[in-house]
Structure 1
């Protein structure tokens, strides 16, 4: 009897032939791309150790639809059809959905949602790092109902603290890191009612300067100079302050931290040496910082990526690690204006900052979380063909799509906002809708477009990032951070 030996090459050929018969599409590029993605995922096991550092990225108003549109927008800027593009944030391996409602609102606001992320409890809309027992606008209800933030906990554990926002540093999301307030609008003393002052409540800007957890914030970059200076004074750019108490809180910060550097423009930012500067406070605008499209044109402010890079370099010097929030605050503002072009530009600037953080940190010791506080009513619709300009008119097979009235329309629209009109809808032209200032058409006329109540994405990398699974309550984010750091112990 003759014994037959099957060589490895023959066996491989037989297996390939069998696979070809069972899966005839195996040579298709999409099939092969998916197989490669599967192999990469299998080679990326969860990281179960503890995190020395935490960076919480918050894209204010960055809905899942905003991510999709930004992905296509960036790809088309690079000469692709766009849909196949991948943003930096989309490389993070662990993904979940966050339910964003406030305890009293189906459609949430930034104060309540950001509070959930940094304190671990859900609360009402419009309040800053206080629990659900507080009534908005009533100072007396805040006393004893403050919710301790992960930044306070981190400071007490000796970690360095960082805060970056393209909005005012006293605005809702960044304010939750250091302030406790019954009303998000109490950004300076002139906004507090007399009864709140008499009951001992202080404004948010004052709370920033007085923040005393650990060593306070080693890095703080953003807008909002007007909240820190008196109404009868003028900042270096000729803008008046808002304070009525006569206090100059920038000077108060400088007196408290004589080793720190205060800066207000890009030249001052560029002069900061991360290797030697122990503390920096940057306020680059009277109110919010510029939209990315306008900042890029003027070149008079640092980008979100620039600020993130410098902050990481400074904070990394702390042997005990750091905790930082990075907020792209103006995605939200562009959506409120019904201006998708600027919202997408700011989303890409946010993604650039995320890519900097991914490149500068070690996934073994740094937990990076990318999320949003809430969504917006922007939608993509209308059966546009692949590669159709995401900000352009909807087309299919080279022809403009039309509604039942024979009118053209864009792929991106809003459920409500300033783009709605009374009466007949305008027939749109391509040049018109591709302008940076164009406000997309909307269904319901409102002076400012609203948030939506949709879930938002959570994407994460690093220690305990694998705990982001399924659809979770937004306050769960805090608990994953604590699991990775033991800050609350």
Structure 2
């Protein structure tokens, strides 16, 4: 696990060591600690030389992998470095997550057309289809307001994007998520829904027009039914209330449809080799050379947090690796979308330990993918859909537990506070009988994975944040992703690099 965090750091240390050995020959005494000016000068010079030596890759991107850390703010990245580093004997701040070593970075603006702070539906529509949308809507332009079933049914304002463009270009397609496969983020890659909550027919309004739910669109839709690899959670949305899944959970559909069975029948009709799996061993034992299509639903609802997962729950890295193995055999290449979705749900609960751990797992999945692909012909883009309200503050000494408290002497009321806290959410603590701030030092549960970190405003769920999110890119045309831009620019740049989609591409420019 340490490898994906410290690889670039260890390379840097090695280069500094070699350089300082040269200095030693000239009579100087080499040192490798941060208190020595040579440490910083050599580090900066190494970064400079690396950038100067980097040639632009303008080949066609045969393959594209888009990684999405749901709710992965820049604050989350900074805190995760320390969280991971401290587990392996480092101070942490000096390290990089796997994708933070990518040569090209940018900032994407995340707002919706109708809201200044995005949700996962409108942002997913932006970075997957290239069109900004209204909050709560999936795969529809902003001409359709949330809940407008007629606007969804008309089809005039439906938008498609990377998944559709890749299929039309003859590429293999797939997506991996730790949430329900019908959740807002993955749904934006294949569905058109006026409300992100319409995941199954039972979620639809009881009166008025009836629209097609998201799960149905995944199995029957023009784009959804052609996706080769689908891995994630959310089994309940695919079979009836009258049935139970292999783990004994009841289905959620009220229309009697068994969409898993329907998926199998459709694959048989197309004479494709297919496999449905619902546990880790079934996934890992798959022979990727045998199957054309794989549907993996590993949980009744969202997949469990990594810190709570059992032996039968595949990790995000394992799902990502298997998806790449299945798609690599496609002659025209592939498009794979990978979401680390539970970073977001942990933040909503103000459970910072879980959020940082999910981010670490996400970085591990990126590292696993990098080892499996040829980066001369594979574009890898890593980003987030929106931010969260978690802050990283105080003046703690290096080495202080990132999930712990800041010295009480930093506060005018002389009461300790946590390094990580939230602007709003369920972690709000009321003032004591003397109208003083709650003393978090009284809590003995900082090490508990379900500890809710303090928040300023009481809310049942913490909200998203509205600031820009980072974009990291490596591979063909990765330099297109530098600068500051609207979030909907991302799929246009990806399509340009991969020669797909209706717009300008590197093949027709």
Instruction: Provide the aligned length of Structure 1 versus Structure 2.
Output: 461
The residue aligned with 1:266 is 280
> Residue 365 of structure 1 is aligned with which of 374, 377, 382?
377
Q: Does 1:378 align with 2:386?
A: no
The residue aligned with 2:42 is 32
Q: Does 1:236 align with 2:246?
A: yes
> 1:49 Cα shift?
1.5
The residue aligned with 2:10 is none
The residue aligned with 1:406 is 414
How do 1:321-336 residues align onto structure 2 when only pairs under 5 Å count?
321-336=333-348
Q: What's the C-alpha RMSD, in Å, of the aligned pairs? A: 1.9
Query: Deviations 1:461-482 (Å, cap 9, x if unpaired)?
Result: 0111101121110001011111
Q: Does 1:46 align with 2:59?
A: no
How do 1:161-310 residues align onto structure 2 when only pairs under 5 Å count?
161-194=173-206, 197-198=209-210, 201-213=211-223, 216-258=226-268, 259-295=273-309, 298-310=310-322
> 1:148 Cα shift?
1.5
> Residue 139 of structure 2 is aligned with which of 117, 126, 129?
129
Q: Does 1:418 align with 2:426?
A: yes
> 1:437 Cα shift?
1.3
Q: 1:391 to 1:273 in 2, by over 3 A?
A: same
Which of structures 1 and 2 has the bigger CA Rg? Answer: 1
The residue aligned with 1:392 is 404
> Residue 457 of structure 2 is aligned with which of 427, 438, 444?
444
C-alpha separation between the residues in 1 aligned to 2:70 and 2:365?
Answer: 14
C-alpha separation between the residues in 2 aligned to 1:46 and 1:194?
Answer: 55
Query: Deviations 1:359-402 (Å, cap 9, x if unpaired)?
Result: 1111211111000000000000111111111001124xxxx545
Native 8 Å contact 1:263 1:281 kept in 2: yes
Query: Deviations 1:300-327 (Å, cap 9, x if unpaired)?
Result: 2110000111111110000001011100
Q: What residue ranges of structure 2 are gaps of 5+ in the alignment? A: 1-21, 28-34, 503-509
The residue aligned with 1:4 is none
How do 1:452-463 residues align onto structure 2 when only pairs under 5 Å count?
452-463=465-476
**What secondary structure, in the 3-state scheme, does the structure 2 residue paired with 1:432 have?**
coil
Native 8 Å contact 1:51 1:366 kept in 2: yes
> 1:27 Cα shift?
5.7
> 1:486 Cα shift?
2.3
> 1:233 Cα shift?
1.0
**What secondary structure, in the 3-state scheme, does the structure 1 residue paired with 2:123 have?**
helix
> 1:197 Cα shift?
4.5
Query: Deviations 1:50-80 (Å, cap 9, x if unpaired)?
Result: 1111111000000000000001111101111
TM-score by length of 1: 0.91
**What secondary structure, in the 3-state scheme, does the structure 2 residue paired with 1:28 have?**
helix
C-alpha separation between the residues in 1 aligned to 2:141 and 2:341?
Answer: 23
The residue aligned with 1:472 is 485
Native 8 Å contact 1:418 1:448 kept in 2: yes
Q: Does 1:160 align with 2:172?
A: yes
How do 1:63-74 residues align onto structure 2 when only pairs under 5 Å count?
63-74=73-84
> Residue 320 of structure 1 is aligned with which of 326, 332, 343?
332
Native 8 Å contact 2:190 2:224 kept in 1: no
Native 8 Å contact 2:379 2:475 kept in 1: yes
C-alpha separation between the residues in 1 aligned to 2:205 and 2:438?
Answer: 45
TM-score by length of 2: 0.88
C-alpha separation between the residues in 2 aligned to 1:414 and 1:215?
Answer: 40
> Residue 354 of structure 1 is aligned with which of 359, 366, 389?
366
Larger deviation, residues 300-309 vs 271-280: 271-280
Q: What residue ranges of structure 1 are gaps of 5+ in the alignment? A: 1-11, 18-24
